[in-house]
Amino acid sequence: MPTIRQQIIELLADRQMDARELSGAVGVKEKEVYEHLAHIARSLAARGNKLTIRASECLKCGYVFKDRRRFTRPGRCPRCRESHLINPSFKIT
Protein backbone atom coordinates (compact mmCIF):
# COMPACT_ATOMS: atom_id res chain seq x y z
CA MET A 1 0.00 0.00 0.00
CA PRO A 2 1.39 3.39 -0.93
CA THR A 3 1.36 5.92 1.90
CA ILE A 4 -1.05 8.85 1.90
CA ARG A 5 1.80 11.14 0.88
CA GLN A 6 2.80 8.92 -2.03
CA GLN A 7 -0.82 8.87 -3.18
CA ILE A 8 -1.07 12.65 -3.00
CA ILE A 9 2.21 13.02 -4.90
CA GLU A 10 1.00 10.71 -7.66
CA LEU A 11 -2.31 12.54 -8.00
CA LEU A 12 -0.69 15.97 -8.12
CA ALA A 13 1.96 14.89 -10.59
CA ASP A 14 -0.91 14.03 -12.89
CA ARG A 15 -3.31 16.93 -12.39
CA GLN A 16 -4.21 20.09 -10.50
CA MET A 17 -6.36 19.43 -7.42
CA ASP A 18 -7.54 21.33 -4.36
CA ALA A 19 -7.49 20.07 -0.79
CA ARG A 20 -11.13 19.04 -0.85
CA GLU A 21 -10.62 16.89 -3.94
CA LEU A 22 -7.46 15.38 -2.44
CA SER A 23 -9.30 14.71 0.79
CA GLY A 24 -11.94 12.71 -1.08
CA ALA A 25 -9.42 10.92 -3.29
CA VAL A 26 -7.13 9.64 -0.52
CA GLY A 27 -9.68 9.40 2.30
CA VAL A 28 -8.26 11.79 4.92
CA LYS A 29 -9.65 15.01 6.38
CA GLU A 30 -9.02 18.26 4.53
CA LYS A 31 -7.06 19.53 7.53
CA GLU A 32 -4.73 16.53 7.31
CA VAL A 33 -4.27 17.08 3.58
CA TYR A 34 -2.76 20.49 4.37
CA GLU A 35 -0.32 18.91 6.81
CA HIS A 36 0.72 16.33 4.22
CA LEU A 37 1.14 19.07 1.61
CA ALA A 38 3.54 20.97 3.85
CA HIS A 39 5.73 17.85 4.19
CA ILE A 40 5.43 17.06 0.49
CA ALA A 41 6.53 20.57 -0.48
CA ARG A 42 9.71 20.14 1.58
CA SER A 43 10.58 16.66 0.33
CA LEU A 44 9.94 17.65 -3.30
CA ALA A 45 12.26 20.63 -2.98
CA ALA A 46 15.02 18.24 -1.92
CA ARG A 47 14.47 16.26 -5.14
CA GLY A 48 14.35 19.27 -7.44
CA ASN A 49 10.58 19.15 -8.00
CA LYS A 50 8.15 21.79 -6.90
CA LEU A 51 4.68 21.91 -5.44
CA THR A 52 3.05 24.83 -7.21
CA ILE A 53 0.05 26.54 -5.70
CA ARG A 54 -2.65 28.14 -7.79
CA ALA A 55 -3.74 31.06 -5.68
CA SER A 56 -7.16 31.35 -4.13
CA GLU A 57 -9.51 33.76 -5.89
CA CYS A 58 -12.60 35.73 -4.89
CA LEU A 59 -15.65 34.70 -6.93
CA LYS A 60 -17.34 38.03 -6.26
CA CYS A 61 -14.71 40.61 -7.24
CA GLY A 62 -11.91 38.53 -8.75
CA TYR A 63 -9.34 39.39 -6.09
CA VAL A 64 -6.39 36.96 -6.29
CA PHE A 65 -4.58 35.97 -3.10
CA LYS A 66 -1.28 35.83 -4.90
CA ASP A 67 0.98 36.80 -2.00
CA ARG A 68 -0.40 34.11 0.20
CA ARG A 69 2.11 31.34 0.90
CA ARG A 70 0.11 29.15 3.21
CA PHE A 71 -1.73 26.13 1.83
CA THR A 72 -5.00 26.63 3.65
CA ARG A 73 -7.83 28.64 2.18
CA PRO A 74 -8.34 32.23 3.30
CA GLY A 75 -11.49 33.05 5.27
CA ARG A 76 -12.73 36.01 3.31
CA CYS A 77 -11.80 38.53 0.65
CA PRO A 78 -9.90 41.58 1.98
CA ARG A 79 -11.33 43.73 -0.82
CA CYS A 80 -15.07 43.01 -0.86
CA ARG A 81 -15.40 41.01 2.41
CA GLU A 82 -17.18 38.16 0.65
CA SER A 83 -16.35 34.59 1.54
CA HIS A 84 -17.17 33.00 -1.82
CA LEU A 85 -13.63 31.98 -2.66
CA ILE A 86 -12.10 29.46 -5.00
CA ASN A 87 -9.91 27.06 -3.02
CA PRO A 88 -6.20 27.16 -3.71
CA SER A 89 -5.18 24.16 -5.79
CA PHE A 90 -1.94 22.28 -6.18
CA LYS A 91 0.18 20.63 -8.84
CA ILE A 92 3.60 19.06 -8.87
CA THR A 93 5.92 20.29 -11.58
Q: Which residues of 24-50 are buried (b: 16+ CB within 10 A; e: fewer)?
A: eebebebeebbebbeebbeebeeeebe
User: By CB under 5 A, is residue 85 in contact with Zn ion?
Assistant: no
Give me the least distance between CB of 60 and Zn ion, in Å please. 5
Q: For Zn ion, which residue of 60, 74, 86, 87 counts as binding (CB under 5 A)?
A: 60
User: By CB under 5 A, is residue 13 in contact with Zn ion?
Assistant: no
User: By CB under 5 A, is residue 66 in contact with Zn ion?
Assistant: no
User: By CB under 5 A, is residue 63 in contact with Zn ion?
Assistant: yes
User: By CB under 5 A, is residue 17 in contact with Zn ion?
Assistant: no
Which is nearer to Zn ion, 10 or 82 (by Cβ)?
Answer: 82
User: By CB under 5 A, is residue 77 in contact with Zn ion?
Assistant: yes
Residues in the chain: 93
Residues that bind Zn ion (CB under 5 A): 58, 60-61, 63, 77, 79-80, 82
